[in-house]
């Protein structure tokens, strides 16, 4: 017996969706010796009279309480496929410790789905919207050419398709795999455009193919951005973006706020660094600029969420950030900085781009004394070789303010 397994462990058994007739000998033995069997109502319907049955419903803490109250019983959890893949096993590991849980996996629904559509899956990204939001599907599909998603009856393939169409990804190819290896098996292949709003029902595996996916190139040329016709220079220039992003210290898991996003140039460049486990929120208060922002995000296929709203009031709708860039405040510099300092996670960075010297002189007064900060003036110039005597044409200087919140979060 494995020395890492405690006495009377909880067994978690992955099963075939086809029912007991497809079970392996070990699975049958576990069921025959169990005192209490836990599972969904559908799974328990396969079980004949004998052991006590417990239907798993949220919150899962009720399941843990019942298991502890019956710790002397032989406990068996029935799941489908591999319980360690977006399944019940992770919760049980946390609740009881890994030495108290034994997982007996079956072939997962993901494996079955790729086999059915005759496609390899070693290069796929895996996600789940079961009990979760649909929005991350956009980021997954923008970043990965092949994505497999587990769904539930509420967050089904029709809603995934609608989400992709709304994000201007109507051409994404979808394979909807329902009731695999049962008499009701159904596999539907179509584009997101064709499946949007369709009434899919139960649990399924949805495979998404987007051959145009990828991270994109860091450093968008300013000329490639939609800008105001009357003020085309109203954009954070490429060299300033590069320095500001470097000061932010972002990584693949970062949650970034871009406040006063304007064209969205910084958020789009940052999206080339932040991965699928991170989030980028581009906040803009001006409806006209928000339309430009949205157009740029979609045009550059960036994994960025545009947010129309006024800072700092809009902050309450967003998750706590790991990094914050402030490109504009609508005349509310002190209020916006105070709101960011309250929400920014300890030990992380806020970076401001300022062009007015009077705003620079306010920084020391409005920042909490415990924050460390530096101000760097950056002025870039571009050689104009078309002039009779070539010379550098200077851009306006920008003051880049880098602020670090202390690790303990105290002010």
The total number of residues shown for the chain amounts to: 411
- Alpha carbons 37 and 69: distance in angstroms, whole number: 14
Q: How do residues 23-70 score in pLDDT, each as one tens digit?
A: 778 888 888 899 999 998 888 887 877 889 999 999 999 999 999 999
Q: How do residues 73-128 score in pLDDT, each as one tens digit?
A: 999 999 988 999 888 999 999 999 999 999 999 888 999 999 999 999 999 999 99
Structural domain total, the chain: 3
119 and 78, same structural domain?
Answer: no
Residue 330: domain span: 222-404
Confidence band for 4, pLDDT divided at 50, 70 and 90 = very low
Cut 0.85: pTM above it: no
Residue 326 lies in a domain: yes
Catalogue the long-range contacts made by 20-23 (C-beta closer than 8 Å, 24 or more residues apart): 20/46, 22/181
Residue 410 lies in a domain: no
- Alpha carbons 97 and 6: distance in angstroms, whole number: 10
350 and 333, same structural domain?
Answer: yes
pLDDT for position 49: 78
Final residue of a structural domain among 107, 140, 175: 107
100 and 115, same structural domain?
Answer: no
Q: How do residues 137-154 score in pLDDT, each as one tens digit?
A: 998 999 899 999 999 999
157 and 71, same structural domain?
Answer: no
What CATH number is attached to the domain comprising 124? 3.30.950.10
What CATH number is attached to the domain comprising 239? 3.40.50.150
Q: Are strands 146-150 and 125-128 parallel, antiparallel or unpaired?
A: parallel
Final residue of a structural domain among 107, 129, 158: 107
282 and 352, same structural domain?
Answer: yes
Final residue of a structural domain among 160, 175, 209: 209
397 and 272, same structural domain?
Answer: yes
118 and 228, same structural domain?
Answer: no
Q: In what order do the strands lie in the sheet with 10-15?
A: 52-55, 36-39, 75-80, 10-15, 101-104
57 and 203, same structural domain?
Answer: no
Confidence band for 2, pLDDT divided at 50, 70 and 90 = very low
293 and 351, same structural domain?
Answer: yes
């Amino acid at each position: 017996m494995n020395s890492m397994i405690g006495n009377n462990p909880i067994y978690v058994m992955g099963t075939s969706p086809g029912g007991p007739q497809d079970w392996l000998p070990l699975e049958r033995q576990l069921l025959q010796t169990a005192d209490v069997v836990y599972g969904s109502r559908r799974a328990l319907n396969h079980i004949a009279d004998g052991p006590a049955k417990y239907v798993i419903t949220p919150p899962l803490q009720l399941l843990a309480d019942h298991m502890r109250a019956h710790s002397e019983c032989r406990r068996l959890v029935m799941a489908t496929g591999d319980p360690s893949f977006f399944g019940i096993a992770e919760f049980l590991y946390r609740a009881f410790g890994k030495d108290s849980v034994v997982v007996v996996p079956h072939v997962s629904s993901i494996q079955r789905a790729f086999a059915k559509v005759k496609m390899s899956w070693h290069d796929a990204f895996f996600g789940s919207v079961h009990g979760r939001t649909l929005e991350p599907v956009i980021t997954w599909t923008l970043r990965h050419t092949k994505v497999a998603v587990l769904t539930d009856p509420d967050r089904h393939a029709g809603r995934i398709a609608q989400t992709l169409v709304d994000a201007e990804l109507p051409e994404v190819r979808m394979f909807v795999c329902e009731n695999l290896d049962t008499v009701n098996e159904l596999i539907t292949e179509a584009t997101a455009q064709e499946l949007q709003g369709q009434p899919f029902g139960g649990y399924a595996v949805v495979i998404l193919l987007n051959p145009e996916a990828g991270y994109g190139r860091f450093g968008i040329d300013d000329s490639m951005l939609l800008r105001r016709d009357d003020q085309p220079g109203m954009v954070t220039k490429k060299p300033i973006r590069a320095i500001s992003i470097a000061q932010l210290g972002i990584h693949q898991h970062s949650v970034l706020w871009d406040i006063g996003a304007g064209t969205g140039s910084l958020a789009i460049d940052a999206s080339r660094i932040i991965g699928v486990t991170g989030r980028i929120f581009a906040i803009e208060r001006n409806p006209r600029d928000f339309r430009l922002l949205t157009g740029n995000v979609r045009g550059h296929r960036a994994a960025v969420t545009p947010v129309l709203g006024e800072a700092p009031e809009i902050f309450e709708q967003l998750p706590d950030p790991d990094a914050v860039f402030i490109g504009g405040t609508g005349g509310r510099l002190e209020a916006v900085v105070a709101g960011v300092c309250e929400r920014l996670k300890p030990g992380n960075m806020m970076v401001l781009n300022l062009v007015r010297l009077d705003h620079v002189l306010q920084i020391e007064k409005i920042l909490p004394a415990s924050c460390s900060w530096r101000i760097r003036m950056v002025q870039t110039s571009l050689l104009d070789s078309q002039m009779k005597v070539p010379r550098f044409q200077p851009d306006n200087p920008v003051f880049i303010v880098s602020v670090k919140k202390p690790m303990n979060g105290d002010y």
